[in-house]
Amino acid sequence: MIYASILPPASTPLEKALEQAAASVLDFATPVRDVWSPAHCPAGHLPWLAWGLAISHWKTGWTIERKRAAVADAIPYHRRKGTRQAVAEVLTDHHPAFQIVEWHEANPRRTPHPFEVRAPAAEISADFLTVAKAEEIIADIAVAKPARAHFDFVQNLDLTSGMFMAAAGMSGTVARSDYGAIHDESRDWMILLQTEDGEPILDGDTTDFLEAD
């Protein structure tokens, strides 16, 4: 069977022979412009079209409609890539409750460029956020984020509670006393010699007590 040629007239016999051999196993009926069309590209060719457009976040499990939409958005996505918007889109695809906290929004304020991706435990269950799912999300963020920005992926638990205030008082009285200073002219008994029983020792020649030198 001879297939209709799509080669230019100046093609060599070898090129024409290779074309006929390939045509027996490949479908050349689809126009080339359709292969590059997100809406008309055969489903089996979509992964190759995505590769040609450098769609790094491609997922084989997507529906055909989702794959065609990703191909159609490839060039606009590359313009958004490296921005907060691109990271937010990636997170929304996984779960709308993910939060982005950039360095200037953190409390306390962080050094420039790092950011956090927070997964509120009250809204994103542990059944959803498995180890495999977390690794998938982290890989998608790494592709979409700015090249200079590092990020932390954290699961935070927000606790909401009421605040109760109580006041207590203790009664008491205050008294003021005035004291006057008195000069003590009594003898310093600590400098006197004493017996083992603590009695001061009298001087034999006088009636005074002996003092320690």
Q: Which domain holds residue 14?
A: 1-30
Q: Is the pTM of this model over 0.75?
A: no
112, 91 contact by CB (below 8 A): no
Residue at 112 is within a domain = yes
For residues 86 and 75, membership in a common domain is answered with no
User: For residue 211, is it within any domain?
Assistant: no
Same domain (yes/no): 62, 19: no
- Assess whether 91 and 149 both reside in one domain: yes
Per-residue pLDDT of the chain (213 residues; tens, 9 = 90+): 677 787 888 999 999 898 888 877 766 555 677 888 999 998 998 999 999 999 988 889 999 999 999 999 999 999 999 999 999 999 999 999 999 999 999 888 998 989 999 999 889 888 898 989 999 999 999 999 998 889 988 887 654 444 444 444 444 444 444 444 455 555 565 666 666 666 666 766 666 766 766
Domain shared by 92 and 150, yes or no: yes
Give alpha helix (H) positions in 24-173: 32-35, 46-52, 64-72, 74-80, 84-94, 131-144
Specify whether 62 is located in the same domain as 100: no
Last residue of a domain, one of 130, 159, 188: 159
Q: What is the pLDDT of residues 79-135, one digit of tens each?
A: 999 999 999 999 999 999 999 999 999 888 998 989 999 999 889 888 898 989 999
96 and 146 housed in the same domain: yes
Sheet hosting strand 151-156, strand order edge to edge: 99-102, 115-120, 151-156
136 within some domain: yes
Beta bridge partners of 117: 100, 153
Answer yes or no: is 11 within a domain. yes
Q: Is residue 212 part of a domain?
A: no
Residues 129, 67 share a domain: no
Question: Where do we find the tokens 């790092």?
Answer: 114
Indicate whether 202 belongs to any domain.
no
The count of structural domains within the chain is 3
Distance CA 41, CA 32 (A): 9
105 & 147 share domain: yes
